[in-house]
Amino acid sequence: MMIVDLIDGDDFRARLVALGVHIPEGAGPDTCARMALCKQRGEGVEGLRELVDELVRRSDILLPSVRQAIDKYLLPALSRD
């Protein structure tokens, strides 16, 4: 039997923090995505597009709340850039 780690809100936050987005501890996926979008619009976030692409490709292991936040905030904005 194979066990797969799901990408939850904490994982999503950690990946965004690694890209330089300042996000408070315990922030949910919506807050994480909104804060990443705000920084992207302001000064840019190097690697954000690649991270979003990777997560969307691996949507089978994303928790629905993370996928919804990406779909709602990040995908529309990044598709315009």
Query: What are the pLDDT tens digits along the chain (81 aa)?
Result: 556 688 999 999 999 999 999 999 999 999 999 999 999 999 999 999 999 999 999 989 999 999 999 999 999 999 876
Which residues span the domain enclosing 71?
29-80
Q: Judge whether 10 lies within some domain.
A: no
Q: Judge whether 17 lies within some domain.
A: no
Domain count, the chain: 1
pTM, two decimals, is: 0.91
Q: Judge whether 33 lies within some domain.
A: yes
Q: Judge whether 8 lies within some domain.
A: no
Q: Judge whether 49 lies within some domain.
A: yes
DSSP string, 24-41: -TT--HHHHHHHHHHHHH
Q: Judge whether 12 lies within some domain.
A: no
Cβ neighbour number for residue 51 with a 10 Å cutoff: 18
CA-based nearest residue to 37, from 80, 5, 4, 8:
80
